[in-house]
Structure 1
Amino acid sequence: MTMSLYPTIPILYDLFKAGNVKQVIWYCGSSLGRGTRAAGWFADHIDDKGDTEMKSVILEGGIKGWVKGGKEYTDTMIGYVEEAWSK
């Protein structure tokens, strides 16, 4: 069963709000598609709630951009496999 993120936005918002989360970072492989859409949907929901404390942001360049940052960044990735990202 495939589930879309969009219908879960209100639930995620409530969970993050209860956890006092101030910033949610969205990403995908390059942050040019799914990550950008998710961040936009979530930002719209935050605005609809009138919440001025929580922010919805995008990881610029996505995971591919993170990997290009070098070893300092890839060392923080659990299960990072260099061959998978060097393609």
Structure 2
Amino acid sequence: MTTNASNDTKPWHAAFPAPRTTEPGAVSREEMLELLRTATAGKDYVLVDLRRNDYEGGTIKTSINLPAQSLYPTIPALYKLFETAGVKQVIWYCGSSSGRGTRAAGWFQDYIDSQGGEVMRSVILQGGIKGWVAAGAAHTAQMDGFVAEAWQKPVQCG
């Protein structure tokens, strides 16, 4: 198998335009915990886990996994699905929500804005999954497949 060295040096997101929205809104861990307890997933919110290679150790309940590396081309279809369902906010996270999370939330908010959307908003989960786990037992109890040992190593967010 041959590889193209020039492609190996560029980050995955270089193939897509930079988001215009570079500082999306955010939902705190406490706000997300309250949403999990009181709101309806798939209607009031959609929670998206953007991890691909580092997708281990568990995920926050109700979240769907849409790896960031393949997200950009699917944004129009996702928007239509979420709009049709009446979703009020899409909450994105990765390891820390500072790389993939911020980029995805920005792209999606840009698309919402381009469609004249006024009901739905695109935000990040502050601190990402790493911050969620670090917040303690009340948070990890709201995870599917939580494996404490997986959180002993560094989590990357690219």
TM-score over 0.5 (shorter chain)? yes
2:109 to 43, 54, 78: 43
Whether 1:10 and 2:76 are equivalent positions in the alignment is yes
Higher strand share goes to which structure?
A: 2
Q: In structure 1, give the amino acid aligned to 2:121.
A: K
Whether 1:76 and 2:139 are equivalent positions in the alignment is no
Query: What count of residue pairs does the alignment treat as equivalent?
Result: 86
Aligned mates of 1:32, 1:83 — CA distance in 2: 23
| Structure 1 residue 86, shift from structure 2 partner | 2.6
Residue by residue over 1:32-52, the C-alpha shift from the partner in whole angstroms, topping out at 9 and shown as x without a partner, is 111110000000000001111
> Cα RMSD over matched residues?
1.3
- Runs (4 or more) in structure 1 with deviation over 3 Å come to none
Higher helix share goes to which structure?
A: 1
1:20 to 70, 86, 111: 86
Which position in structure 2 is the counterpart of 1:52? Answer: 118
What's the % identity of the aligned pairs? 66
2:97 to 31, 34, 46: 31
* Unaligned runs of at least 5 residues, structure 2: 1-66, 154-158
Look at both structures and tell me which one has the larger radius of gyration over its CA atoms: 2
| Structure 1 residue 70, shift from structure 2 partner | 0.5
* Unaligned runs of at least 5 residues, structure 1: none
Q: In structure 2, give the amino acid aligned to 1:18.
A: T
Partner of 1:50, secondary structure, is coil
